[in-house]
Structure 1
Amino acid sequence: MDGTQLAAVILAAGKGTRMRSEQPKVLHPVAGWPMVAYPTRLAGQLGCRPTVLVVGHGADRVRETLADQEVRFALQAEQLGTGHALLCAQSALTGFAGTLLLLCGDVPLLRRETLAQLVARHQACGAAATVLTAELADPFGYGRVLRQGEEVLGIVEQKDATPEQQAIREINTGIYAFEAPLVFNLLEGLNCDNAQGEYYLTDVLAAARAAGRKVAAVTLAEATEAMGINDRVQLAEASAIMRRRINEAHMRDGVTLMDPACTYIDPQVEIGPDTVLHAGVHLCGATRIGRDCTIEPHAVVRDCQIGDGVRIKAASVLEGSQVGEATDIGPMAHLRPGTVLAGHNKIGNFVETKKALIGVGTKASHLTYIGDAELGANVNVGCGTITCNYDGVNKHKTVIEDDVFVGSDTQFVAPVRIGRNSLVAAGTTVTKDVPADSLVLSRVPQKIIEGWRLRAGKKEQKCSE
C-alpha cells in the first residue's frame, strides 16, 4: 500500500432469518468470536481509520458487543440493499478521501494478506472500484462478474442474469475497494429498477465505467475465504475452517495437539512452545499458556494466565485465574475468577477456589473449598476443608499465614486469621484468630459405651418376634 488514507465500512445490518435466532446474525460465534469481530479486527490490522459498522437488526446488541472496539456506527433503519447500506455510512466518513474497503460482517474467513492484495491492486491501477472475486464450481445465487479480458464490465445478480450469464463461474464476493468520496457520488445516482427492488452496490461499477473510470478485480486463490454465513450449517463449516487455521498455526509454533480435530482454541489465545494439548481441550478468551505445559483431556481454560511447566489434569475448569509455574491442577478441579496461585502449588481433585491468593508451595490436594481467602507459602490444606466465607449477607475473608498445617475436615468461619507455623487439628471449626506457632482444635469429646451394640441387637430381636 502506498500510504493513501484507508477506511473501512462493514455491513452488519441484516436480520439473518435463516439462522432462526433472536440474536443478530453477525453476533453468532465462529471459533469463539462473534463473526463480525473478524472483519473488524482485519480493518484495524490494515490501519483503517475510521472503521464504520452499518447496523440495523439488533443494532443495540451489536453496539454493546463491539463497544470496546475502535469503530463508528451508522444505522440502516430500513434494509433497501447493499448500495443503500453503504450510503448510510456516508455521514460517518465526512471529510475522508482515499481508499474505502467495503467488508461484510457475515464473512469471517478473509485473510489479512487477501485484503492487502486487494488494496494494493486498487491503488496501483488507479481504479474507481476493485472487486474481490472467486471461482465456484456451483455459482448459483451469486452475482456473476462480467468481463472483457482483464477489464471488468460489471456484475449481474442471479435473478437478473440471462442463462448465458448464469453459466459464468466467476462470482462477486461482496468485498470491494472504492475510491472515496467518488463512490458516494455514484451511489446517489442509483435506482432500484431490478428484480429485488433494491439499491445494488454492484451498480456502482457500471456507473464508474460510464464516468470513464476503471474497474479492476482480484480473484481469490481459495474461494472459502469469501464464504458468507447464512445458516447454522454454514456457521459450523466456517468455525471448523477457522479452528483448523488456528490449530495449524499453533502447531507450527511448537505446540503439540494430540487430536487437532477435537481441540478448541479461541483466536487470541497464546501458547508457549513444547506445550501439549490433549483431545477435548477448550482454551477460551484472553488466555495465555506458558511453555512446557500439559493440558489433559476435556480441560476448559477461560481468560487465564498460566505459567511455564503447569499441568492441568483431566476435566478441570479454570476461569479468570492466574497460575504460577510448576503447578499441578486437578483432575476435576475448579478455579473460579480471582484465583491467583504463586507457583509450585498443588490443587487436587474436587478442589474449588474463588478470589483466593495462594502462596508458593501451598497445597490443597482434594475435596476442599477456598473462597475469599489469602494463604501464605507452604501451607498444607487437608481434605474436606472449607472457608465459610458467606454469612448470608456479606462475604468475609480467611487469612492463613505461612507454614500452617490444616488437618482434614476443618471449617474456617470467616473473618478469621491463622498465625504462621500453626497446626489446625482435624475436625476443627475455627471461629477466632489463632496466634502464630499454636495448636488449635475444637472437638466434641469422644464417648464410648462398651457393649452397646450387643444390647441394641437383643432389643431389635425382641421387637421382631
Structure 2
Amino acid sequence: MSSNESSRNGHAVILAAGRGTRMRSRLAKVLHPILGRPMVVWPAEAAESAGLSVVLVVHHQEDAVRAAMEDQRVSFARQEAPQGTGDAVASALAALPEAGTVVVLNGDGPLVRASTLEKLLEQHARSEALLTVVSMMVDEPGSYGRIVRSAGGGAECIVEAAHATPEELALNEVNTGLYAMDLAWLRGAIARLEPHPPKGEYYLTDCVAFAAAEGRAGVMILDDPEEALGVNSQVERAVAAGVLQNRIVHEHMRRGVAFEDPSSVTVEPGVMLGSDAWIERGVVLRGQTSVGEGCRIGAYSVLIDAQVSPSAVVLPHSVLESARVGAASSVGPFARLRPGTVLGTGCKVGNFVETKKTTLEDGAKASHLTYLGDARIGAGANVGAGTITCNYDGYAKHRTEIGAGAFIGSNSALVAPLTVGDGAIVGAGSVVINDVEADAIVVARGEERVRSGAAARFRRRRSPRSKKD
C-alpha cells in the first residue's frame, strides 16, 4: 500500500522497531505468534478495520518483519537507531501526508479493538484537540506513566514513573501508549522534543504537555483496560492469546456454535463455523478451516485449512490438513487426512486410515487401518482393512484408480500405477500389479497347501524330549 493511499478516517503509525529482550528469545517481539499470526498483525488489522492506513516503524529484524507482513495492507518506515518513541514516530512522518489525523499505537499491543480506535477518532475530532491520549484507571499503576490532570480536568502532562514525585506516583490514571494527533501540529511538536537522560531517548509523551500548553490536550479513558495489555514476556503473550481466544469463541457462540468446553479449544481468527456445529473439548482449528452447519468435531481433533461440509462428523483424535470432507461423511476416530484429500457425500474414512492426494467419491468407504495415497476411489467402492496403495517406487509417485462399486479385500496391496475397474473384486491378501477389468475377480496370493498332521510332527521334532532322544 502506498503512503498516499486514501483512507476513511486517517492514518496509523504502529511502533514495531524494538528488540523485546524480556521475551528471552532470538525472535523479534512483534513476530511472536498469537493464534497463528504474528503479534503485530493484530493491531495492524484493528487499525485497518477502523478505516486507517497503516505505517509500520521497523528496525530490529526488519526483513523478517517486512516478510511477515507481506499479506497485510501496510507500508513501512525505518527507524535508523532506536532512540525512543518520539524518534520512532519522527521516522514515520515522511510516509504520512502533511495534514490529517494520525493514531499511534504499539506493535506489542494485540488486544486493542477497532471499535476503540473508532471511538478515539470520533472523540478526537469532536473535541478539536491537537492530541488525545488514551488512559486507563488501575489499582496498581506500577511502572506506567502517570496522567497528570490540570485544574480544569484536562491533560496537563504525562510523567514517567521513574521521574514522578510521590504525589504523582499515587495517581492511578495511567498512559496506555495510544494516541490520536493532528498531523500538521505533530510535525512541529516532534521537532521540539528534547533527549532524556540516561539514554538520550526522545519521549512521545512530551507532546502531551505541548498540546496542553495550547489548551487542546484531550483524554479518553479506556472502557476495558484489558485492551492496553502490552506483551513483554512469554507469560504476557499467553495471557493475550487467552483473551483473544475468548473473544473469538464467544463470537462463534453468539452465532449459534456450541462448544463442549470453550476454555480448552484453539480457534484461530480465520476459522469459519456454521450454526449448530458442535465442537468437543480440546479441538484445534487453524488457518482457513471451515466447518459447516450441524457438524460435530470430536475431542482433540486438529483441523488445519480443512473444509468440512454440513452434517459431517469428525470423530476424536483425527487430523485433517488441507482436506475437504463432503456432507454427511464420517472421519475417524484416529484418522489422518493429508493435503489433497477430498471426500464426497456420505463417505467413511475410519480409524487408523491415512489418505493423501486421494479422492473418495460419494459413498466410498475405507473403514480401518488403510493407506490411500495418490488415488481415486469410485462411488460406493469399499476398501477393506489393511489395504495400501503402493504409490511410491523409490523414485516417483504413481496413481491408483479404483472404480465405482469395486470391493477391495482386506490386507491387499495395490501396486501403482494400477486401475481396478468398476464393480471388480480383489480377494483378501492379494498383491495386485496388473490392471483389473470391470466386474472381474482377482486373487493374487500364494497357493494354499494343507498338510494333515504336520503341526503335531513339527512340535514333536522341536520338543526338548525329542532332542534328548
TM exceeding 0.5: yes
Match of 1:274 in 2: 276
Deviations 1:314-333 (A, max 9, x none): 11111111111111110000
For 1:2-401, list aligned pairs within 5 A. 5-49=9-53, 51-93=54-96, 95=97, 97-148=99-150, 149-210=152-213, 212=214, 214-401=216-403
Q: How far does residue 60 in structure 1 lie from its aligned partner after superposition?
A: 1.7
Contact 1:33 1:267 in 2 (8 A): no
What are the superposed Cα offsets for residues 44-82 of structure 1, whole Å, 9 maximum, x if unpaired? 211222x11112222222222221111112222421111
Kept in 2, the 8 Å contact 1:5–1:97? The answer is no
- Partner of 2:303, secondary structure, is strand
Amino acid at match of 2:201: E
Runs of 4+ aligned structure 1 residues displaced above 3 Å come to none
Change (3 A) 1:389 1:206: same
Once the 2 structures are TM-superposed, how far is the Cα of residue 178 of structure 1 from its aligned partner? Answer: 1.3
1: CA distance between counterparts of 2:403 and 2:468? 57
Q: Quote how far apart the aligned CAs of 1:91 are.
A: 2.2
Distance in 1, Cα, partners of 2:432 & 2:390: 10
Q: Retained in 2: the 8 A contact 1:294–1:309? A: yes
Query: Cα distance, 1:158 vs. partner?
Result: 1.1
1:449 positional shift:
2.0
Distance 1:184 1:433 in 2: 77
Task: Give ranges in structure 2 of 5+ residues lacking alignment.
Answer: 1-6
Letter in 2 for 1:290: G
| Contact 1:128 1:182 survives alignment (8 Å) | yes
Query: Is the Cα–Cα contact under 8 Å of residues 56 and 76 in structure 2 kept in the other structure?
Result: yes
Report if the CA contact (8 A) 1:344-1:361 is conserved. yes
Per-residue CA shift, 1:144-166, capped at 9, x if unaligned?
Answer: 11112331112111112111111
After TM superposition, give the deviation of residue 441 of structure 1 in Å: 2.1
SS in 2 for 1:86: helix
Q: Could you list the runs of 5+ residues in structure 1 that have no partner in the other structure?
A: none
Q: Which deviations, in whole Å up to 9, do the C-alpha atoms of 1:116-139 show, x marking residues without a partner?
A: 100101111122111111011111
Kept in 2, the 8 Å contact 1:320–1:336? The answer is yes
**Range moving further from structure 2, 364-373 or 144-153:** 144-153
| 1:213 positional shift | 5.8
Per the alignment, residue 415 of structure 2 pairs with: 413
Structure 1: distance between partners of 2:8 and 2:127:
13
How many residue pairs get matched? Answer: 460
Q: Normalization by structure 1: what TM-score? A: 0.95
Distance 2:8 2:73 in 1: 20
State the secondary structure of the residue aligned to 2:44. Answer: helix
**1:294 is matched by which residue type in structure 2?**
R
TM-aligned CA deviation for residue 4 of structure 1:
6.2
C-alpha displacement of 1:307: 0.6
Given the superposition, is the C-alpha separation of residues 96 and 324 from structure 1 closer, same or farther in structure 2, using an over 3 Å criterion?
A: farther
Question: Offset of 1:30 from its aligned partner?
Answer: 2.3
Q: Using the TM superposition, give the Cα deviation of residue 408 of structure 1 relative to its aligned residue in structure 2, in angstroms.
A: 0.8
Residue 195 and residue 150 in structure 1: after superposition, are their counterparts in 2 closer, same or farther (change >3 A)?
farther
SS in 2 for 1:26: helix
Shift of 1:418: 1.7
What is the Cα deviation at residue 288 of structure 1? 1.0
Aligned to 1:89, the other structure's residue is in SS state helix
* Corresponding letter in the other structure for 2:333: P
Secondary structure (helix, strand or coil) at the match of 2:115 reads helix
- Separation in 1, partners of 2:395, 2:215: 71
Cα pair 1:4 1:98 within 8 Å, conserved: no
Q: The residue matched to 1:43 in structure 2 has which SS? A: helix
Post-superposition offset of 1:390: 1.3
Amino acid at match of 1:362: A
Letter matched to residue 431 of structure 2: T
Q: d(CA) in 2 for partners of 1:464 and 1:124?
A: 107
CA separation in 2, counterparts of 1:177 and 1:430? 72
Cα distance in 2 between the residues matched to 1:182 and 1:435:
82
**Which moves more between the two structures, 182-191 or 108-117?**
182-191
Q: Deviations over 1:299-325 (max 9, x none)?
A: 111111111111111111111111111
Say whether the 8 Å CA contact 2:195–2:203 is kept in structure 1: yes
| 1:464 to 1:378, Cα distance in 2 relative to 1, 3 A | farther
CA-CA distance at 1:369 after TM superposition: 0.8
| Contact 1:329 1:346 (C-alpha < 8 Å) held by counterparts | yes
- Structure 2 counterpart of 1:66, which letter? M
Structure 1 range deviating more: 360-369 or 192-201:
192-201
TM-score, scaled relative to structure 2: 0.95
Q: What per-residue deviation string (whole Å, max 9, x for no partner) do you get for residues 24-60 of structure 1?
A: 11122223332211111112211222x1111222222
Helix, strand or coil at the partner of 2:374: strand
Amino acid at match of 1:415: P
- What SS does the corresponding residue of 2:52 show, helix, strand or coil? coil
* Preserved contact between residue 160 and residue 194 of structure 1 (Cα < 8 Å): no
Question: Once the 2 structures are TM-superposed, how far is the Cα of residue 5 of structure 1 from its aligned partner?
Answer: 4.4
Q: 1:460 to 1:73 in 2, by over 3 A?
A: same
Residues 9 and 121 of structure 2 are in contact (CA less than 8 Å); yes or no, is this contact kept in structure 1? no
Q: Please name the residue that 1:449 is paired with.
A: 451
> How large is the RMSD of aligned CA atoms in angstroms?
1.6
Residues 421 and 200 of structure 1: CA distance in aligned 2, closer, same or farther (over 3 Å):
same
Percent identity, please. 43
2:369 is paired with a residue of what secondary structure?
A: strand
DSSP-derived class of the 1:15 partner:
coil
Deviation, 1:195, is 4.8
1-structure distance, mates of 2:46, 2:86: 22
Shift of 1:275: 1.2
